[in-house]
Amino acid sequence: MLSKQCVSGFVRRFSSKRSVAATVVQEPFESEKGVFIPRPHEKHPVLFREYEVKVSKLNNGMKVASVDNYKDTSHLHLVFNCGTRYETPETWGISQRVRNCIGAATENLAGVEIGNLLGEIGGQFNISTTREHMILSLDCLRSQVNDGIEFLGEMARPVFHSHAASDVREFSEYEAAAAEEEPMIKITDLLHAAAYGQKGLGNPLFVPNHVSYRFNGSQLQNFVDHHFVTGSSGFFGVGVDHAKLLEFASDSLQLHEGAGFAIEKSPYQGGEYREAAEEHGTYGAIAGESVSMKDTKTVMVYRVLASLLELGKGVRGATGVSLLEQTIGEKTKHPFACTVLNMNYSDSGIFGVYFAAQPQDAGLVLNGALAALKQVSQNVSQEMLDQAKQQTLIEIIAADEQGSEVISDLSTQTMSNGIYANPQEQMKLVTSVTAQDIQQAAKKILSSKLSVAAYGHLQDFPRLANISV
């Protein structure tokens, strides 16, 4: 994928399963059959087939994009620009409530009928929200894709009866309780509030139930009517014919026409947010400003930087093997956990480190994370760069084998950029990354105003003003 982002419902994990790649990366090369990826210790390279990507934009403003990989499973996304960044102080938390209520009833179907229809299709339906988008997704067999497309269109016309809203109350309470028990969700929200303020990208993905419950059915319906419009939507498919998507989007998808809401820029400002809690440990994150998704080349540089910091982290039974862990381990002898945060949006991005530590070691672990970035900003060996690039290439190839990953990347990029950098283009950008690129990326993080989030026991957690790079 081009970037790693938080996904509501639960948060997509930032940690990646990595293994040490000790061989020097070799550049992919093209042929008329596809793209060949050389593998270490193999005589013959592996064929990485390149599939045609088709992107269209209808007169009503809707974006339509597809990749037909000719597999037996189809993946569909109907995406709307109505993530949490579009919420105002008056509508704070409404996207969470809308997400939980979609699927309870539509203009033509009641809840039981929706379940029966989904069972007939044999598909899996899901609704998720990010800071920028609300995504209605469906996975089904290719032979059922026509019915699947119609089902997804029906789900985009929800109605919010009072009894239907109460039916999802139990799930909403479970979701809120699960989010409250996951420190990384809390830290991610606090970090965005520190980086962007309490608006736009700084709005939280999760709010307490008493906040989201304040919206009645008419308010939810008004939100959908104003945001589920053609000009702020996109229809995407993997393992489906592009002509089918276009035909349905043009003739059958009954959305209100309109331009939708323009994105209000969310400038990075830096700062700190702290929330004390009766936890057994201390959780924190420190980050700086990176780049938006529109700068695909530099996005790939930060992906390689993330791989470099965490090389070897996924090796079973190994601890303290990555550069990040080694540098932090020099500061403290007590247990800790850490992972890289790398998030890109349509107009901004943040890059940093999330960690969990014993309360008395919070400052030491934080300083260790900064020391790792500082070390990279000063020197990057060719061997480590080659390993990091190799690891990033492997991640891109592995993601391309999963239709769910491909469509997530396709929809996110197309909605943000209007174009799609396919895996082959991403791989070429990765192989072109230099040691100087990595050093400059690390320097940019350290030179920006830092953002700090803290949660748990905070007595020994340093204030931003006392943190020196």
Q: Is 382 exposed, middle or buried (0-12, 13-18, 19+ CB in 10 A)?
A: exposed
CB neighbour list of residue 337: distance below 8 Å, 6 or more residues apart: 355, 356, 357
Q: Does domain 29-49+267-466 have CATH number 3.30.830.10?
A: yes
Q: DSSP H helical segments within 197-241, as ranges?
A: 209-212, 217-227
Closest CA to 68 of 55, 53, 86: 53
Q: How many CB atoms lie within 10 A of CB 456?
A: 23
Q: Do domains 29-49+267-466 and 53-251 have the same CATH topology?
A: yes
- How confident is residue 469, by pLDDT bands cut at 50, 70 and 90? confident
3-state secondary structure of 73: strand
Residues in the chain, how many? 469
d(CA 235, CA 66): 9
How many CA atoms, within 13 angstroms, populate the side-chain half-sphere of residue 34?
14
Q: Is the pLDDT of residue 4 over 60?
A: no
Q: What is the pLDDT of residues 24-56, one digit of tens each?
A: 344 444 444 444 444 444 444 445 567 889 999
Of all residues in the chain, the percent with pLDDT exceeding 90 is 66
For residue 421, the model assigns a pLDDT of: 92
- How confident is residue 10, by pLDDT bands cut at 50, 70 and 90? very low
For residue 13, the model assigns a pLDDT of: 27
- The pTM of this model reads 0.86
Bridge pairing between strands 451-456 and 271-276: parallel
3-state secondary structure of 31: strand
For residue 163, the model assigns a pLDDT of: 64
Segment 288-300 shows an average pLDDT of 96
Segment 207-211 shows an average pLDDT of 80
Q: Which of 14-28, 84-98, 262-276, 402-416 has the lowest mean pLDDT?
A: 14-28
- How confident is residue 315, by pLDDT bands cut at 50, 70 and 90? low
Q: What is the pLDDT of residues 248-287, one digit of tens each?
A: 998 878 888 888 777 888 999 999 999 998 877 899 999 9
- How confident is residue 458, by pLDDT bands cut at 50, 70 and 90? very high
The mean pLDDT of the chain is 86
Segment 169-192 shows an average pLDDT of 86
List beta partners, residue 66.
Answer: 54, 237
- How confident is residue 191, by pLDDT bands cut at 50, 70 and 90? very high
The domain ranges of the chain are 29-49+267-466, 53-251
For residue 318, the model assigns a pLDDT of: 52
d(CA 320, CA 403): 33
Place of tokens 């994105």: 263
Q: What is the CATH architecture assignment of 53-251?
A: 2-Layer Sandwich (3.30)
For residue 292, the model assigns a pLDDT of: 95
For residue 259, the model assigns a pLDDT of: 82
Segment 144-163 shows an average pLDDT of 90
Extract the tokens encoding 153.
């269109």
